[in-house]
Amino acid sequence: MRRLGQSAKLADVCYDIRGPVLQEAMRLERAGRRILKLNTGNPAAFGFEAPPEIVRDIQEALASAHGYGDAQGLPAARRAVVQHYETRGVGGLDIEDVYLGNGVSELIQMSMQALLDDGDEVLVPAPDYPLWTASVSLSGGRPVHYRCDEGADWFPDLADIEAKVTDRTKAIVLINPNNPTGAVYDEELLRGIVAVAARHQLVLCADEIYDKILYDGATHVPLASLAPDLLCLTFNGLSKAYRVCGYRAGWMAVSGPKAHAQEYLEGLTILANMRLCPNMPAQHAIATALGGRQSIEDLVLPGGRLLAQRDAAWQALGDIPGVSCVKPKGALYAFPRLDRSVHRIDDDRRFVLDLLRQEQILVVQGTGFNLPTPDHFRLVTLPGAEELTDAVARIGSFLATYRQN
Ligand code: PLP
């Protein structure tokens, strides 16, 4: 038979969060081992329940949501998204400016497919949530990584961004609150990003899926609220703040001037039409989620489970010699650094594979987030505080075997 290869389009496409190391974890599970999976931000796997009003809306919708709907999504849900952004300082939106999707993931891919010609460049943070880099590559574009500075709370380096703009640069991606670093950007930084985008006429892509998962009084400012004069794509959904990632409900709001972007928007509409419509039942919960009591606050405020877990993970990481971690201000992750003068680690994928085999703990290597150096890993802060403390202590003992004399 003729050998069936992979399409050349996938040559630079990589998504290590579910990569070969996860395959090995699944093999070990099939062999009867219990693996602590700290690799994906899936709250349901750690006993987080869906808000009951969301489940009820979806259940009630099921009987009548079995047909195709509007390709851009249910008008009532899109109206709720428009109203939500109005209260957050993003004006001028119409329901035609909102696209619903099967999670933010689908919309990220659509936004890049519609935007990029071969060789067009997109500025993407390093480290990033790797779907961004992968989607740019899959669309024929070239991801150009800008530096986020660990020494400055992982804030993006504006000078590095500016230096990397070329005449092929079309867009800049900002993930705030950030996955994997947990950084939450202040208004000054956001204004800096907007200024770079304005100088070079770049599309802003704001991935704000963790906008409600904030610790220690951090506040989230929507990027679009500071950029009324730029085309800004804001991505968000129910997966994280509402803990229903399996329902696959996300949205993208296109704000700012659109007269110059009509062809791009028509392209987006073609792609929306091609997928017929997003998953219908989940869309029925969007208005309820955005309009109701925000139950995530019970989890992130003092006394809340997510805050306690973030604290437990961060403290336990700080107890490991040769490990440091910038305290996450938002999202569901910790992204510790391994001091390579203390630990002999040249291949971080090898390190997470060995950790998996020896301790049955699955984390993701830093290079999986397009960080150039093999000296970080990411863990989710979703298990209970005790389990997290214990897991991090085991990671510490395992790391001791890598210690240089
Ligand atoms: N953006 C970021 C930064 C994420 O961390 C994730 C999921 O982990 C997504 C997007 C995808 O979310 P969704 O479940 O809406 O596809």
* 228 inside domain: yes
Task: Evaluate the CA torsion angle 269, 271, 274, 276 in order and state its sign.
Answer: negative
| pLDDT at residue 405, rounded to an integer | 62
Cα separation, 35 vs 360, in Å, equals 5
The candidate with the shortest Cα–Cα distance to 123, out of 155, 182, 163, 153, is 163
* 123 and 178 belong to one structural domain: yes
| Domain end point (choices 291, 314, 346) | 291
**Best of 240, 242, 247 for a ligand 1 pocket test (most atoms within 8 Å of beta carbon):** 240
* 195 and 175 belong to one structural domain: yes
- CATH code of the domain containing 85: 3.40.640.10
Determine the residue type at 328: P
* 277 inside domain: yes
* 1 inside domain: no
The candidate with the shortest Cα–Cα distance to 313, out of 372, 263, 357, 363, is 363
- CATH code of the domain containing 39: 3.90.1150.10
* 162 and 224 belong to one structural domain: yes
Cα separation, 359 vs 289, in Å, equals 39
Structural domains in the chain (count): 2
* Residue burial 292-331, b: 16+ Cβ < 10 Å; e: rest: eeebbeebbeeeebbbbbbbbbbebbeebebbebbbbbbb
* 107 and 159 belong to one structural domain: yes
Helix 103-115 to helix 262-274 angle, to the nearest 10 degrees? 130
Over pLDDT 70: what percentage of the chain?
A: 100
State if residue 242 touches ligand 1 by the CB under 6 angstroms criterion: no
User: Does the structure's ipTM exceed the value 0.90?
Assistant: yes
Mean pLDDT by runs of 10 across the 405 residues of the chain is: 90 84 93 95 94 94 94 97 97 96 98 97 97 96 98 98 98 98 98 98 98 97 98 97 96 97 97 96 95 89 95 97 97 96 91 95 96 96 97 96 78
Cα separation, 69 vs 276, in Å, equals 8
| pLDDT at residue 176, rounded to an integer | 98
Give the pairing type, strands 232-237 and 337-338: unpaired
Helix 103-115 to helix 131-138 angle, to the nearest 10 degrees? 40
* 405 inside domain: no
Q: How far is the CA of 204 from the centre of ligand 1 (A)?
A: 17
**Best of 108, 109, 179 for a ligand 1 pocket test (most atoms within 8 Å of beta carbon):** 179
* 252 and 380 belong to one structural domain: no
State if residue 245 touches ligand 1 by the CB under 6 angstroms criterion: yes
Q: How many CB atoms lie within 10 A of CB 166?
A: 11
Q: What is the DSSP letter of 151?
A: G
* 155 inside domain: yes
Q: How far is the CA of 319 from the centre of ligand 1 (A)?
A: 30
| pLDDT at residue 54, rounded to an integer | 93
Give the pairing type, strands 377-380 and 361-362: unpaired
Q: How far is the CA of 127 from the centre of ligand 1 (A)?
A: 15
| pLDDT at residue 344, rounded to an integer | 87
* 245 and 375 belong to one structural domain: no
Determine the residue type at 234: T
* 3 inside domain: no
Tens-digit pLDDT profile for residues 91-109: 999 999 999 999 999 999 9
Q: What angle do CA 180, 162, 235 make, to 5 degrees?
A: 40
State if residue 180 touches ligand 1 by the CB under 6 angstroms criterion: no
* 148 and 41 belong to one structural domain: no
Cα separation, 207 vs 232, in Å, equals 11
Q: How many CB atoms lie within 10 A of CB 62?
A: 12
* 107 and 208 belong to one structural domain: yes
Give the pairing type, strands 36-37 and 98-101: unpaired
* 302 and 283 belong to one structural domain: no
| Domain end point (choices 291, 322, 342) | 291
Classify residue 95 as exposed, middle or buried by CB count within 10 Å of its CB (0-12, 13-18, 19+): middle
* 248 inside domain: yes
Helix 348-359 to helix 20-30 angle, to the nearest 10 degrees? 10
* 179 inside domain: yes
| pLDDT at residue 403, rounded to an integer | 81
* 238 and 312 belong to one structural domain: no
| pLDDT at residue 19, rounded to an integer | 82
| Domain end point (choices 291, 316, 338) | 291
| pLDDT at residue 137, rounded to an integer | 96
* 170 and 255 belong to one structural domain: yes
Report CA-CA distances (Å) from 228 to 6, 194, 195, 224, 329: 42, 10, 12, 7, 27
Q: Are 202 and 170 in contact (CB under 8 A)?
A: yes
| pLDDT at residue 11, rounded to an integer | 87
Q: Are 98 and 78 in contact (CB under 8 A)?
A: yes
State if residue 237 touches ligand 1 by the CB under 6 angstroms criterion: yes
Cα separation, 93 vs 81, in Å, equals 9
* 180 and 278 belong to one structural domain: yes
Question: Tokens 């906008």 — which residue?
Answer: 211
What residue numbers bound the domain in which 358 lies?
8-48+298-400
